[in-house]
Structure 1
């Protein structure tokens, strides 16, 4: 089969579980490829004063540096293979139906360059304190896996918390304000199995070709 892909985006604040849900959906949808915003973004490399200035100017999303992301998403939607910048190798649509591509993103339809390619948007509506706790646990989990990584991880954690109140949390508030209203499906904080159980029937309704695959 050939033809364009149906792009399902999963968005939410960092720590909301969007990557986990995208991976679970991929397994249910015949290995649908996942394009990851995090593999392209460069804003986290900005110094704090540049982020602060960006926030003061209203946080224009068109200025978020995402080199190559819109081009790769458009190509994947057309059915072309693109580099997997997150894991290496290539991303390509599976043979047959459903022709679905997943997009793990922070910006949803609010970012003009990539949002125009989204056919269905899932927003994970996780409270900031829960998202923060999950983010912090990612630091501690890594340190527990490899005690030698403790000191640099502690420095990264300190830097993250140092920027959280004045820079990061305001950014996440803007994200929720601008991205959530464009969602086709809003899911509250819940275990992954419950999120999947809510997302799959919704996708089956808008993508009939996926219904047989989802029901297996």
Structure 2
């Protein structure tokens, strides 16, 4: 019996508005035999009701029961036809979740300045909203949200294999990542 080659699992993290979904989508488009997974597409038991409170209590990633995502990764590794070479995940924790770290081969952090990430969020989320709603979100960010972003910079960023400058054009970010994958993982 021949052993099926395991796809290279790539995790892409960034703060909200940092570019992780865009980078994940683009990598999956250009990497041969690849599939993209998006963290927000799953429902997890144990997911904190209040993310800001979760961060204030230490942001332990292991409280998240990521079984649906683990199961999907295992299926893609063992059963997907045709076999995949890559699975690219929009995933916020790099190697910090104990049950997921053994499934991840390469963790990327898109280091996007918080002002750029916030501007992207406003354009993405509030194009048709009132100024009151935008102002309310900005006040929430200043009061409670910014500590969550800072927590990612303190924990996820240093637990990633590479850090890519989120101010760079998308094509440069993608070229940098593809070059790094090619130099580390020759298939």
Q: TM-score, normalised by structure 2?
A: 0.83
CA contact (8 A) 1:15 1:132 kept: yes
Size of the alignment, in residue pairs? 183
Residues 191-202 of structure 1: matches in 2 within 5 Å?
Answer: 191-202=169-180
Q: 1:104 to 1:138 in 2, by over 3 A?
A: same
The corresponding residue for 2:109 is: 123
Residue 34 in structure 1 maps to residue 68 in structure 2: no
Q: 1:139 to 1:5 in 2, by over 3 A?
A: same
Shift of 1:65: 5.4
Q: 1:79 to 1:139 in 2, by over 3 A?
A: same
Residues 146-161 of structure 1: matches in 2 within 5 Å?
Answer: 150=129, 155=133, 157-161=134-138
Cα distance between partner residues in 1 of 2:132 and 2:70: 34
The corresponding residue for 2:153 is: 176
The corresponding residue for 2:24 is: 22
Moved >3 Å (runs of 4+) = 41-45, 50-53, 64-67, 157-160
Q: 1:25 to 1:51 in 2, by over 3 A?
A: closer
Cα distance between partner residues in 1 of 2:24 and 2:7: 16
SS of residue paired to 1:103 = strand
SS of residue paired to 1:15 = coil
CA contact (8 A) 1:41 1:65 kept: no
Residues 51-200 of structure 1: matches in 2 within 5 Å?
Answer: 51-64=51-64, 66=66, 68-76=68-76, 78-81=77-80, 95=82, 99-141=85-127, 143=128, 150=129, 155=133, 157-189=134-166, 190-200=168-178
Deviation by residue 1:119-149 (Cα, 9 ceiling, x = unmatched): 01111011111111111110244x2xxxxxx
Cα distance between partner residues in 1 of 2:115 and 2:95: 24
In structure 2, the gaps of 5 or more residues are none
The corresponding residue for 1:205 is: 183
Cα distance between partner residues in 2 of 1:184 and 1:52: 26
More helix per residue: 1
Deviation by residue 1:28-53 (Cα, 9 ceiling, x = unmatched): 1125101111112568882xxx4454
The corresponding residue for 1:2 is: 4
Q: TM-score, normalised by structure 1?
A: 0.73
Q: 1:10 to 1:56 in 2, by over 3 A?
A: closer
